[in-house]
Structure 1
Amino acid sequence: MKTEAWVLRHGKDAGEVGPDGISGFDIETIDLPEPGPGEVLVEPMYAAWEGNLGHAIERRPIDICEERGEDRVVLGNSGAVRVLRAGDRDGRFPEGAMCLVVPAGEVDRYGYTEKVHGYDRPGSSGILARRMVLPAELLYRVDPSLGLTAQQVTAAGRYFIAWNNWNVALACWRSQMVGEDPADHLVFGWGGGVSQGGLLLARDLGFRTAMLTGSADRARLVADMGITPLDRRDYPGMTPAAGSALPPEARKMRVDSEARFVEDVRAISPRGEGAAIVLDHIGGPVYVATLKILARQGVLSTVGWKAGMRLTHLRAVEAIGRRIHVNTHVTHLRDVAPAVEYAAKTGWVPPIDERDVYAWEDGRRLAAAYNSGGTYSYFPMLKIND
């Protein structure tokens, strides 16, 4: 059985960099096996464009093909698929059923993800393909009575990751702040789809919420959601590239912007203490500012990193402030069902911007737009099969 797929080639075989800044990422014909026991042949409908796709295509910090010891990799680890055939006639997956792909490719003995399917798990093939054979345990069948569309399921994948991260962070905060009213505390998030999902969960519990945004469109969107927007453009130079050396004038700009930012965050926090919980899925460039706005007994929560994964802090300061640093990865399979049900019940689903829904043949254009910050929303996706 053959199908078309977007294939990432090993760096040594990538060839020349194109005008879009991308090399070794193209549509190719691949062979697919027949689904065996515990496997399902699916037809991907939409694939979410995740941060790890950007890292893989940019080959930073690693060449994922080199890491896996493979010459070619089919990426794509979150989205909506349609069942064509279960290898062992598994009644959970009838033909035509819509499923969410949960990329828990390799888990520990407690069910927590260690390696991501379609990314760093060797031998795994993702959903950037017209057809794919997937392990049945990675598929969550979406009950059609919930009324969720394939695009909504795909976009909400980031929210479902936020569900796990937020609940761990919340439990940590409550472990020290027993009896505190959420209305008296602020949850802050740096821009991004996972942060937006977590902030909405915080809002629903009564927390004051705020988010840094980089455009007027995104500011209006989060304001309409009841989240206070702060405009990144008001703080020039505050978040330089990780590891960059700054000239004196740039250092002064950063210090001044950081001071204004900290003052603004404290001003919108109900007690002027800063943020009880900070959702930081970016890393290095924002880490200094994150620690400056984090309140005592605060929680710094992350589900990954987008720009800079080596971090430094003064352990004594964090200990004296009784501040908890939470790090989670992907999700636990048991969290998927309650997250999906909450989304359907409450409307906890990202809005779809059709400008960020790219046609199958435009995979490279989407990759280039995402890597350069040229997408319109936090939820771009590739349309594979309608």
Structure 2
Amino acid sequence: MHSDLPITLADVEAAAETIRGHVLRTPLVAAPRLSAVAGCEVHVKFENLQVTNAFKERGALNRLAALDDDQRARGVIALSAGNHAQAVACHARRLGIPATIVMPRTTPFTKVASTEAFGATVVLEGETVAECRSVVDDLAQAQGLTLVHPYDHPLVMAGQGTIALEMLRDVPGLDCLIVPVGGGGLISGIAVAARALRPDIEVVGVQTSQYASMAAALRGEPAECGGDTLAEGIAVKNVSESAVGVLTALGIDVMVVDEAAIERAIYAYLVRLKTLAEGAGAAGLAALMTDPERFAGRKVGLVLTGGNIDPRLLAALTVRALEREDRVVTFRVTVRDRPGELGRVATLIGHEGANILEVSHQRLLLDVPAMRATTDVTIETRDAPHADRIQRALEAEGMMVTRLDPLQRRDEAR
């Protein structure tokens, strides 16, 4: 084993003892329905079942438990707009440690409220996490607070590495672990522990293409980061230099996946495993679905790192997925402008076993003859053949029918 790494297997095992009984030992579950899609044997580590619904509790608690009496009395400070904030707040309250969490002013209210509910003092400053860093430094110095970094600390890395201990004890035959990567603390801890126990095991990191900072760092190149991402939990511009050293020393590869793959993975977790995954948490499955040949026939462990996804976002992603599968379809039906025609459309659709979700009746479109009217009907169908059958049934009754592309429908709505 490399002697110059920031943590060792012994550190991870010590962290496991520290957090035992205070952090849930989450299940590692075989996922046959994901296996059928991916072409390999998939096992999922459900870190979304933690009290704060994310893995961050492991590293946060291991760091907090190491504070001396003076540090505990003065309190801690953390910079986070998400899971790390809640993890620090949750365990600081349990240990009786005052906690201050600095968040960007743009942080959704639900995340602010969740963090405050754990007893932390929330300070909203700056537009981005980077702009908040100077506020953290000033408060820490002025009040003597100890910084609990979300990823760049050996105790945090060791705490996150306990995931690997649990996975390999539950399913010793795993030959590959796929791990979402942000700043690098999680994958560093997992890689050190896994390689110490199983030198032949492959550990693969995953980042979103919008924030492929670790992948760039491993190539020795500057990272180009920015833009909106579903995986905000791993949208990190500045990765840990210690983590870069760990991954380089252990030869860990980091894959890059696009936003569409992450969206598909969130939906796959929802419909195939009946569980919630935030964008960052779904990154591992996104990698598996992006390059199935790489993992074909293998026994793969996915770390579902968290499930804190906004319900409105999840609803939007679900509708988009149903539209791609032709299970939600919008028809533009042109009919004669006379009483009863809309009812006739609805009756035909109901007769074919579809459910009407939305109706928009138009008489003023200039590309429609004066004695005609259009009806945009959004319906729920079983599949693409069912949608085709409904369209033919409407056309057989003399109606002009076109299927609207979802993007076209949204553009017209705007």
Give me the TM-score of the superposition, normalised by structure 2.
0.28
With CA pairs under 8 Å and 6+ residues apart, which has the higher RCO, 1 or 2?
Answer: 1
Structure (1 or 2) with the greater helix fraction: 2
Give me the TM-score of the superposition, normalised by structure 1.
0.30
Q: Which has the larger radius of gyration?
A: 2
